[in-house]
């Protein structure tokens, strides 16, 4: 798959592409990433890419023409029969979630438009943007961080990128977990600052361990993201044993999991 990124600051992506386990996706070519700076397609001595907003107000707006020229160059470089969708990162976009990441991970890629300043001339958005994506109800200084979030989420789902092929299937929100949150994890030493590893994980009994993890997943989801639990219930993904466990949970509990009633900083 190929992602073409329209950005005024391509240099900020360098650590993403060269660090961590997901670099395998970029180094192997499983995920191709190409950068396009609108300034290279702007006219005049100053290569201007923004101007003041009609109607007044603070901030500048990215010009439509350099973006159009940039997109035209991308289309020529991709040489696609079916043009890749243009994605714009925007507060009005659909919130990125696991389901949409999975769809992108099996796609041919996209053109990612990273806005800056007060935004992008609406005429370019209306004419050329196919989809808008948001990371949540907050505003970033530009779309680069959102683009990196999408790239990282997509890259880790590619075959051979993670050390264990099944690792991502146990991620929070994954269908393999019925869309619930993942359970807590522990490693050596067995006792740390007086806190022990839950005995179920030390039992060596695979069925007991699996059930403990399922119950912790249910507990966390009920406490932190009850809407995910309700969605799983409506989809028929909760067993009688699950429902029986949930009925035993104390109402109003705010602890993340058993054994974590207090935290110290």
Indicate which residues carry an active-site annotation.
Answer: 91, 118, 156, 171
3-class secondary-structure state, position 116: strand
- Residues in the chain, total: 265
Contacts 24+ apart (CB under 8 A), 183-187: 183/212, 183/213, 183/214, 183/216, 183/217, 183/220, 183/257, 184/216, 184/220, 184/256, 184/257, 184/260
Strand partners, 95: 134
CA distance 19 to 6: 22
- Signed CA dihedral, 12, 13, 14, 19: sign only: positive
CA dist 211 → 31, 145, 258 (Å): 37, 37, 14
The radius of gyration of the chain's CA atoms, rounded to the nearest angstrom, is 23
**Is the omega angle on the peptide bond into residue 24 within 30 degrees of 0, that is, cis?**
no
The stretches of the chain forming alpha helices (DSSP H) are 14-18, 23-27, 64-78, 98-105, 122-128, 144-155, 199-202, 206-224, 226-234, 240-248
């Amino acid at each position: 798959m190929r992602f073409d990124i329209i950005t005024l600051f391509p240099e900020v992506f360098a650590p993403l592409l060269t660090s961590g386990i997901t670099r395998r996706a970029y180094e192997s070519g499983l995920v191709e990433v190409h950068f396009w700076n609108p300034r290279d397609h702007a006219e005049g001595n100053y290569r201007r890419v923004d101007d003041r907003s009609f109607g007044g107000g603070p901030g500048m707006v990215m010009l439509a023409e350099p973006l159009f020229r940039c997109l035209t160059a991308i289309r020529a470089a991709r040489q696609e029969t079916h043009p890749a969708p243009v994605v714009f990162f925007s507060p009005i976009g659909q919130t990125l979630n696991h389901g949409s990441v999975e769809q992108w991970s099996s796609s041919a890629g996209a053109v990612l438009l990273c806005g800056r300043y007060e935004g992008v001339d609406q005429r370019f958005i209306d004419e050329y943007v196919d989809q808008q994506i948001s990371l949540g109800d907050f505003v970033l200084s530009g779309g680069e961080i959102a683009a990196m979030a999408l790239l990282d989420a997509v890259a880790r789902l590619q075959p051979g990128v993670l050390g264990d092929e099944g690792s991502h299937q146990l991620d929070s929100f994954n269908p393999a977990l019925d869309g619930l949150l993942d359970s807590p994890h522990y490693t050596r030493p067995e006792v740390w600052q007086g806190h022990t590893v839950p005995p179920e994980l030390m039992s060596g009994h695979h069925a007991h361990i699996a059930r403990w993890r399922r119950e912790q997943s249910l507990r966390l989801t009920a406490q932190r993201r009850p809407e995910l639990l309700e969605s799983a219930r409506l989809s028929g993904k909760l067993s009688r044993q699950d429902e029986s466990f949930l009925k035993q949970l104390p109402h109003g509990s705010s602890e993340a999991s058993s054994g974590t009633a207090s935290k110290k900083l």
